[in-house]
Every structure is written in C-alpha cells, then in structure tokens.
Amino acid sequence: MSDSDALTSMGDQSLVDAENAIAEQLGGGTGRKYVRFVIAALSSIPWVGGVLSAAVSFSAEKEQEKVNALHKLWLEEHKRKIAELGQTLRDIFARFENFGEDLSDRTSSDEYLALVKRTFRSWDQADTDEKRSMLQKLITNAGAKKLCSDDLIRLFINWIELYHEAHFMVIKEIYRDPGITRGEIWDQIHDERPREDSAESDLFKYLIRDLSTGGVIRQVRETTEDGEFLKRRQSRTFRRSGTPASRTMESAFEETKGYVLTELGKQFVHYVMEDVVPQISAASELE
C-alpha cells in the first residue's frame, strides 16, 4: 500500500478500522519518510485519540446491540473530520514528493515538527475551508526549504488565526495591483460604494487600519537608495495658498494614496496564497 493509501481509505472504511489504518500509514513504504510528521500532526489534535478509542468501544457495543444513538452521531461526525485530515496529509505528502533533496533534513528537524504541531492545532480550530487551505500551504511551503525564520512562520499562523476572510480579500487586491488606493480596492470587491457614515464604510476602514497596524500593508512611500523611508513634504504652493481646510473628513474610499504590501506581507502571500516557489527573492519578483 502506498504511503497515503491508508489515510485515503479512512473516509470510506468504518472507524472500527481507523487505528489499524493509521498504524499501516506509519508503517512501511515511502510513508516512513513522513512518520514523524504524521505523529506530530496527530498528537496536536486532541480528539484524534478519543475517536480511535471510541471506535473500538463502538464496535463492541454494536456487536452487543447496545449502540447509543448520540455516540454513533459523534463518531460519524469525526469520521468526516478524520477523512478531511487524511486528505490534507495526502496533499502535503504529494507536494513533498516533488521537492528537492533538502526536504528530508528539514521535515525531520525538531524545529519544523514544532511548527507542524502548531499548524495542525490551528488547522483543527479553523472555522473556514479557506483558513485550513492557507495553513496547509504554509506548512508545506515551510517544509520545502527554510526561506525565512521559523519565528515568521509562527507569525503567519497567528495572522491566519487573527484575520477574517475580509482581510484576506484586501490583501489579495493589494498584491494583485501594488499602489492601489482604498477606493479602488473597494470597487474591485464590491459593486457600489456605501455612505461614509454606514456600517460597511466603518468596516472597510477597520480592515485597512487593522492590516496597517499589523504590519501587513502600508501606504506607498519613497525611499532612499539604502531603503530608508522619506518623510512626506507638504508642497509650498499648498502652504502659501491659504486654501481653507476641508469641512469633511478623509473618505474611507480615498483615491490619492496608494497601498502596497510590506515585505512581511509579501512573504505571507508567498507562503499561504501561492503554490510553492523555489525561493523568495526581491520585492519586484512578487510584484
């Protein structure tokens, strides 16, 4: 049996055989390369052990015709979750097979396995498929090659936990079009602009503020040759014109100030919103 056939069959077979299926997965064949990965992933998910123990109990009760209906429903729900976990592991291992020689050292290191545990704890608690997909890509890419520090990988896990899908939509628009304004971001995501005093407007300002203070995005700024940011200067014409100040506050959909991803933001997109790329290089490569 191939390295992931056991996990594949877990969605189809009864939970009575789940323990044997995992044991077979951890056994011979190419699966041996990923035994420590699987153990780290399973050990980080609290309900896995309970399901396997409950499956044995369920089998005994069934033979004695003493099946508790609630117990059965609980097992059926976790049968679906085990199948989903198995599919995730299969997909990760399939990508691993396409990576280079650096893979084995990286994926068997204690530092990486600690990331695996952290990732699958978050994966289990994620409330959307999109977040689970991001976490899967993150740990896969982090195993391909150590492109940035493990501290940053942990930061990216925190971002996935913290931010909502609405945040990720804003990030994607800025990634696709560096220098895009708030008004342009809104227009790409929505059909019509709401009133400035609406809840939708307040939410949009919150998303931009959240991502800005979190270090994911920033306004476009000029830099010196060695990368230092230049201060913005008010034009002399404006200072001397005596033009009265505007009576209204800046619009949530302002259209003169562009936004870009920070360098951290670019690495985040690279790790969780793209397929594996050989290496992270200059910012221009991502833009």
pLDDT in tens, 29-39: 455 678 888 88
C-alpha span between 48 and 86 (Å, rounded) = 12
C-alpha span between 234 and 239 (Å, rounded) = 7
pLDDT in tens, 101-158: 667 778 888 999 999 999 999 999 998 999 999 999 999 989 876 667 899 999 999 9
> Does 49 map to a domain?
yes
> Does 268 map to a domain?
yes
Looking at the fold, whether 233 and 120 belong to one and the same domain comes out as no
Going by C-beta distance under 8 Å and a sequence separation of 6 or more, which residues neighbour residue 240? none
Looking at the fold, whether 118 and 211 belong to one and the same domain comes out as no
C-alpha span between 80 and 92 (Å, rounded) = 19
Residue 10: alpha-carbon gap to chain centroid: 25
Question: How many structural domains comprise the chain?
Answer: 2
- Backbone Cα Rg of the chain: 25
Q: For position 245, what pLDDT does the model report?
A: 60
- If you write DSSP's letter for every residue of 149-171 in order, what string do you get? -HHHHHHHHHHHHH--HHHHHHH
> Does 211 map to a domain?
yes
Interhelix angle 35-43/69-96, rounded to 10 degrees, is: 140
Looking at the fold, whether 171 and 124 belong to one and the same domain comes out as no
Query: Who has greater pLDDT, 134 or 5?
Result: 134
Give the mean model confidence (pLDDT) for residues 185-204.
Answer: 95
With vertex at residue 62, the alpha carbon angle to CA 57 and CA 5, rounded to the nearest 5 degrees, is: 70
Looking at the fold, whether 169 and 128 belong to one and the same domain comes out as no
112 pairs with which residues across the strands? none
Q: Write down the residue that tokens 């939708």 correspond to.
A: 200
Range(s) of the domain holding residue 240: 165-286
C-alpha span between 261 and 199 (Å, rounded) = 26
pLDDT in tens, 228-279: 656 666 544 445 555 566 676 789 999 999 999 999 999 999 999 875 444 4
> Does 265 map to a domain?
yes
Q: Domain boundary residue among 135, 152, 175?
A: 135
> Does 160 map to a domain?
no
Q: For position 147, what pLDDT does the model report?
A: 67
Largest CA distance in the chain: 92
pLDDT in tens, 44-90: 888 776 665 555 555 555 544 445 555 566 566 667 787 888 888 88
> Does 157 map to a domain?
no
